[in-house]
Structure 1
Amino acid sequence: MTDTIRIATDALSAEFSLLGAEMRVLRDEAGRDLLSDGPREYWTGRAPFLFPIVGAVNEDVIHVEGQAYPMAKHGFARKSMFTLIDHQPAAATFRLESSGATRAQYPFEFRLDIAVAIEGAALHTYVTIFNPGDEPLPASFGFHPAFRWPLPWGGTRADHRLVFAEDEPAPIRRIDTANGLVLPEPRATPVEGKMLAVRDDLFVDDAIIFDELHSRSVRFGVPGNRMIEVAFTDLPLLGVWTKPGAPFLCIEPWQGLADPVGYRGEFRAKPYVVEVAPGASHVLNMTISLKN
């Protein structure tokens, strides 16, 4: 079995690795690359899945019933081997299940299914967090696709914009760059109406975090040209990130957030952590589509 799984329609194609179930390639109908190629000098990720945490946790541990468990930034799923459950010409499903290795970091039983499907020029991703255990399962999850900046449809980096579905006047949150945790003070939003002019200096202090977001979709590209739309009906938060000068922009719908500065409480008590009842599932979805 190859560890690269390809799905496609005439309008869009994508390739995934069994390592992390990560999308490694996304191309339009002309074969033009839309996803970062992972430049080593900036960030080698392309579109990892973040589970069971999003961002960093204080002192790199989570607390469960008073006991500390080691947990690296963004969790372990992105560095875990998934099993291919199903593969069709335009769809695939990947699975990660709890094991001795995961329980040493995250003492819960879980099953994480990631199903991807292309319909026309839209890539749908459905994430199912299933709890096979007999106690509530606390979890966070995040998407982290890195799109080429500039995109291959014309215009310079400086011409690119994020265009939100709704006006976004609310303050944003920022990260303490010393430890990766969320600062307590909100900051004024750089969005003007629905529009954010993306530029390198916005990301000197790490990601821009929208935690009072009205929009459930955002478009990226040069207005008037073809754009990428990211829709995320089930996720309350959005992170936008790059490293200054990098040839990509990450648009990251999240169900979860880094620890607040100084947080030492229980993992399940953190804001935006969901609890999945025994025998139940929690489903999240994101759609990436090309919009002319």
Structure 2
Amino acid sequence: MFAIAVKKQQYKTYILTDQAAESRLEVVPERGGIITGWRVKGQDILYLDTARFANPDLSVRGGIPILFPICGNLPDNTYTHNDQPYTLKQHGFARDLPWEVREQITEERAAMTLVLTSNDQTRAVYPFDFELAFTYQIKGNALEIFQRYTNRSAEPMPFSTGLHPYFLALDKTQLRFNIPAVQYQDQRAQTKHPFTGTFDFEQDEIDVAFNQLTGLATSVTDASRQMRITLSYNSTYSTVVFWTVKGKDFYCVEPWSAPRNALNVGKPLIRLQPGASCETLVRMTVSFLEK
């Protein structure tokens, strides 16, 4: 049985459930359209810093923030379009703005569609008219995020997009990664390193990008929780970013359509023609390992 309920806390929260699978998804449209929680078989899959989430002046650390129209940051938070400079902060504005609930479905799955459209606030930093439609769907042990991007402008619209899931990890030394790449770039040192399937978690921060992917799925096995999380995505996504901070119970595996600063460099951006749309999909699946 599938259901969608609404509870009013600090923000109106939509709760999607698949009772047979003991799966539950929490979505907060007005706080950036964010997924704040996902449980499967009674296990929390995502991390959420509730104190930061409660403060609307802070960006959320946790759940699954939406990245648009850029992933990562720009030098001095600045880019130029038609010889005019614009200021756009890290990861763009979609994760900070309220989204509109457009549709809810409880037949054969639990799903809801959220929409974000351009307005005066977005046009001040990104001079394009657009509509984004995200559909969150749970069924069984899987979460699917269908995305549709539409250019309502009279000129081509360049952008990149991504997701920033925070996965819960109580012992990061027990994590093993299967990422379809042989090397990564350290974002802070700007150095390249071979990838061996794990990281040195004694570092204060790890921020690396896999920019030369050879496949369309990434998995993380958590031996301490006897759990494997698999992210699969379509070919729109050219980059996977891994990020974590020492002493915090999370790690992030982020599918991006382009690396940081692509809006200045000019590639590999998505460029939508006037009136055109494109669609992307990210699927996350939880598997429980035999003990």
Which TM bucket (shorter chain)? 0.7 to 0.9
Residue in 2 that maps onto 1:153 = none
Residue in 1 that maps onto 2:55 = none
Residue in 1 that maps onto 2:255 = 253
Shift of 1:163: 2.1
Matched, 1:38 2:53: no
Which structure would you say has the larger RCO, counting Cα contacts within 8 Å and 6 or more residues apart?
A: 1
Contact 1:139/1:268 (CA < 8 Å) preserved in 2?
no
Match of 1:162 among 177, 182, 185: 177
Matched, 1:231 2:242: no
Rounded to whole Å, the distance in 1 between the matches of 2:273 and 2:86 is: 22
Residue in 1 that maps onto 2:91 = 74
Residue in 2 that maps onto 1:24 = 36
Shift of 1:124: 0.4
What do the CA deviations read for 1:222-249 (whole angstroms, capped 9, x no partner)? 3593311111123111001011121001
List alignment gaps of at least 5 residues for structure 2: 1-5, 53-58
**Cα 1:141–1:130, aligned 2, differ >3 Å: closer, same or farther?**
same
Taking every aligned residue pair, what percent have the same amino acid on both sides?
A: 24
Contact 2:221/2:227 (CA < 8 Å) preserved in 1?
yes
Bigger mean CA offset, 96-105 vs 251-260: 251-260
Q: Which runs of 4+ in 1 moved over 4 A?
A: 39-43
Contact 1:240/1:252 (CA < 8 Å) preserved in 2?
yes
Shift of 1:39: 6.1
Structure 2 residue matching 1:239: 3-state secondary structure = strand
Q: Aligned runs of 1:203-214 on 2, under 5 Å?
A: 204=205, 206-214=206-214
Shift of 1:116: 0.9
Rounded to whole Å, the distance in 1 between the matches of 2:17 and 2:178 is: 27
Shift of 1:219: 1.4
TM-score by length of 1: 0.84
Rounded to whole Å, the distance in 2 between the matches of 1:270 and 1:257 is: 11
Q: Aligned runs of 1:58-97 on 2, under 5 Å?
A: 58-89=75-106, 90-97=110-117
Rounded to whole Å, the distance in 1 between the matches of 2:244 and 2:50 is: 12
Rounded to whole Å, the distance in 1 between the matches of 2:173 and 2:186 is: 23
Q: Letter of the 2:198 partner, please give it.
A: A
What do the CA deviations read for 1:2-44 (whole angstroms, capped 9, x no partner)? 52112121322111111211110010122x2110022659973
Q: Letter of the 2:192 partner, please give it.
A: R
Residue in 2 that maps onto 1:148 = 168
Match of 1:115 among 135, 143, 157: 135
Residue in 1 that maps onto 2:124 = 104
Rounded to whole Å, the distance in 2 between the matches of 1:230 and 1:91 is: 19
Residue in 1 that maps onto 2:218 = 218
Rounded to whole Å, the distance in 2 between the matches of 1:40 and 1:248 is: 15
Q: Letter of the 2:14 partner, please give it.
A: I
Shift of 1:284: 1.3
**Cα 1:159–1:268, aligned 2, differ >3 Å: closer, same or farther?**
closer
Matched, 1:134 2:154: yes
Contact 1:230/1:288 (CA < 8 Å) preserved in 2?
yes
Q: Letter of the 1:75 partner, please give it.
A: G
Match of 1:284 among 277, 280, 287: 280
Structure 2 residue matching 1:59: 3-state secondary structure = helix
Q: Letter of the 2:102 partner, please give it.
A: I
Structure 2 residue matching 1:133: 3-state secondary structure = coil
Residue in 1 that maps onto 2:56 = none
Rounded to whole Å, the distance in 1 between the matches of 2:278 and 2:193 is: 33
Rounded to whole Å, the distance in 1 between the matches of 2:28 and 2:221 is: 26
Structure 1 residue matching 2:95: 3-state secondary structure = helix
Contact 1:24/1:46 (CA < 8 Å) preserved in 2?
yes
Structure 2 residue matching 1:197: 3-state secondary structure = coil
TM-score by length of 2: 0.84
List alignment gaps of at least 5 residues for structure 1: 151-155, 178-182, 261-266
Matched, 1:242 2:220: no
Matched, 1:188 2:193: yes
Cα RMSD of the aligned pairs, angstroms, is 2.2
Residue in 1 that maps onto 2:185 = 173
Contact 1:203/1:241 (CA < 8 Å) preserved in 2?
no
**Cα 1:85–1:27, aligned 2, differ >3 Å: closer, same or farther?**
same
Rounded to whole Å, the distance in 1 between the matches of 2:283 and 2:214 is: 17
Rounded to whole Å, the distance in 1 between the matches of 2:150 and 2:204 is: 35
Q: Letter of the 2:133 partner, please give it.
A: D
Q: Letter of the 1:157 partner, please give it.
A: K
